[in-house]
Amino acid sequence: MADNDSWEDRVKHASETYSRFVPGTEPAQVLASMEKRYGALGTFAFTAVGEMWDRPQLSRRDRSLMIISVLAAQARDEELVLHAGIGLRHGLTRTEIEEINLHIAAYAGFPAAMAAQRRIDDAFRTAEGVERLADRTGAEHLADAQRLERAADVRRSLTRGKAKTDPTADLAAMQDALGGVGDWAMKWAFGEIWSREQLSRRDRSLVVISILAALGQEAELAFHVPAGLNHDLTRVEIEEIMTHLCLYIGFPRAVDGMRATRAAFARIDARGD
């Protein structure tokens, strides 16, 4: 998109988005309906949201990953049902969307994750045309030794090899720094959630960075932005997360997220990593 787009150009970009958001409906009719119902808010919901989703810096699949994450973390029920369905149309699988919600449990809490799962299931039932979803399969039943081994591998990838190689030593370091929180972070968040294969570590970093920005957790972004780079997100992609989120979490938190992101980049550059 150029910086001198005409109104018609802007509508064209937005229409590309809404042809996927509302398949089978003429985008011009969507714009007219939104303006009649919401006035200026409807105009901006069509143009600003539509244009943002059409930007090339992240794929639509990536954008669905991050927006589902943010809506779940914020308990935006109606929008979450809508975007879970859109995520399926953008190429996410049911399994991948469900995997997002494990990170919601870890980074926004179980109440948020349980509530989000109910809304996501509404979208799944609609997409599949069923009243009841098939039974799910639980997670692997792991002993602590397995959890620690997997956690150590995750921690090495998050830190690009800087974490301790011995799982017991790494656990001790986490416990020393964070007490019981460190113990649970190591064994459960890293050892069980992050180590699962149902979603790539790149995608998990995208999800977690989005959740942290939505929750205003700049201190955690200082760790997870470099971790995202170590998981093959690019600087352009991470900045685009913050750019997109200005429409979903508001400018103040997006500004804080962008500042935290650029501060993390500056520390990396200062170290010469």
pLDDT of residue 1: 59
- List the domain range (segments joined by +) for residue 14: 1-54
Q: Which of 54, 75, 98 is the last residue of a domain?
A: 54
CB atoms within 10 A of CB 253: 19
Backbone φ/ψ region at 129: left (φ over 0), alpha (ψ -120 to 50), beta: left
Question: What is residue 92's DSSP assignment?
Answer: -
Is 71 a member of any domain? Answer: no
pLDDT more than 70, % of the chain: 99
Residues in the chain: 273
pLDDT per residue as tens digits for the range 89-142: 999 999 999 999 999 999 999 999 999 999 999 999 999 999 999 999 999 999
Is 225 a member of any domain? Answer: no
DSSP string, 195-261: T-SSS-HHHHHHHHHHHHHHTT-HHHHHHHHHHHHHTT--HHHHHHHHHHHTTTT-HHHHHHHHHHH
pLDDT per residue as tens digits for the range 44-53: 999 999 999 9
In total, how many domains does the chain have? 2
Is 116 a member of any domain? Answer: no
Measure the N-to-C terminal CA separation of the chain; round to a whole number of Å: 33
Average pLDDT over residues 238-257: 98
pLDDT of residue 272: 84
Burial tier of 195 (Cβ tally within 10 Å: 0-12, 13-18, 19+): buried
Is 155 a member of any domain? Answer: yes
Is 21 a member of any domain? Answer: yes
Q: Which of 167, 194, 221 is the last residue of a domain?
A: 194
CA dihedral 263, 264, 270, 273 (to 10 degrees): -160
Model pTM?
A: 0.96
- pLDDT band per the 50, 70, 90 thresholds, residue 3: confident
pLDDT of residue 166: 93
pLDDT per residue as tens digits for the range 253-271: 999 999 999 999 999 999 9
- Distance, in Å, from the CA atom of 71 to the CA atom of 81, rounded to the nearest integer, reads 9
Burial tier of 172 (Cβ tally within 10 Å: 0-12, 13-18, 19+): middle
- Distance, in Å, from the CA atom of 167 to the CA atom of 146, rounded to the nearest integer, reads 10
- Distance, in Å, from the CA atom of 184 to the CA atom of 174, rounded to the nearest integer, reads 9
Average pLDDT over residues 213-223: 97
pLDDT per residue as tens digits for the range 224-237: 999 999 999 999 99
pLDDT of residue 2: 65
pLDDT more than 90, % of the chain: 97
Whether the predicted pLDDT of 38 surpasses 70: yes
Q: Which of 10, 27, 54 is the last residue of a domain?
A: 54
